[in-house]
Amino acid sequence: MAFRVLLSLLSLIALSRFSTAIAYNGGVGLSPQFYDYTCPKAQEIVRNVVAQAYAKDPRIAASLLRLHFHDCFVKGCDASLLLDSSGTIVSEKRSNPNRDSARGFEVIDQIKSALEMHCPSIVSCADILAISARDSVVLAGGPNWVVPLGRRDSLGASVQGSNNDIPAPNNTLPTILTKFKRQGLDILDLVTLSGSHTIGNSRCTSFRQRLYNQTGNGQPDLTLDQSYASQLRANCPQSGGDQNLFHLDPVTPFKFDNQYYKNLIVHKGLLSSDEVLFTMSSDTMQIVERFANDQGLFFENFVKSIVKMGNISPLTGSNGEIRKICRRVNHN
């Protein structure tokens, strides 16, 4: 009798975990409870390392959030971005969107090392990216959310995919939307996830054309507030200074809030890919205005969109592997 009761209880637990996975991601096999038995302190360990890194450098929050985004848009959320070049692997870190700008890899290394000491070969690097993105947003004052887990790590990378699939700062709105739709994300997800630029920096080279030669006629981008443009030119010259950094949101640069959308309305979006959300489409403009007026609405939608993004083509079951070191596959 006791054995039957135990079997029934285990069946209920399994059914509960399966139902949760379906509720969170449409049944791709992820579940917030994935590590509850194999590594119950996993999320606490990630949170502690991220908090320590944030205390030293608040900029790391935007960097870790960006890693999750740049990982998921290439081959799905499989930690392919974290692989260094070796053997037949050409690292995505060498791609145009990541070279000289993607950062935070050392923090991921620290998290993985701490997890390997506590529960070896259990927690994937892909899940570390998803959890650390959430923790970064929370530390910066943004919303909290439950992260579906159970992703596994890729055995390869795609520098070509990184170059082709990640939206670029000078892409047109139709091109950006096409890149989002390719990942199963829609126009609301696009405007919502662009709100990640409420924190973080951008390099001069990513928006210089707006200051001097937006369309090839030697004229600046007139959708950029001209007094703001003058301020930017002081540290972003026509040549040189490529790596000079500028806050994406100059008003509250380290706070995850809805100020980004307010900036777009007054034509102070730093990147062309940001400002076009307000200037090039009535559909995106309306969403920008709604989020600018209602931070709670932005937060609510951000949680939905980033969970949706985190569910892009994960490796589950026996696909991929659980890397011991995030920078290389296990057999190297």
Residue from 68, 70, 118, 331 carrying the catalytic annotation? 70
d(CA 226, CA 218): 15
Catalytic residue status for 70: yes
Name every residue whose Cβ is closer than 8 Å to that of residue 188 and which is 6 or more positions away in sequence: 287, 301, 305
Residue 101 Cα to chain centre, angstroms:
14
Name every residue whose Cβ is closer than 8 Å to that of residue 87 and which is 6 or more positions away in sequence: 332
Q: Which of 197, 198, 201 is nearest to 245 (CA)?
A: 201
Name every residue whose Cβ is closer than 8 Å to that of residue 50 and which is 6 or more positions away in sequence: 60, 64, 107, 111, 132, 135, 136, 139
Annotate 143-196 with three-state secondary structure: CCCCCCECCEECCCCCHHHHHHHCCCCCCCHHHHHHHHHHCCCCHHHHHHHHHH
For residues 249 and 256, the answer to whether their CB atoms sit within 8 Å is no
Q: Supply the DSSP string of 281-314, one letter for each residue.
A: -HHHHHHHHHHHH-HHHHHHHHHHHHHHHHTSS-
Two structure tokens written together for 187: 């126009």
In the chain, what is the greatest distance between 2 CA atoms, to the nearest angstrom?
Answer: 83
Burial of 8 (0-12, 13-18, 19+ CB in 10 A): exposed
Catalytic positions, please? 70
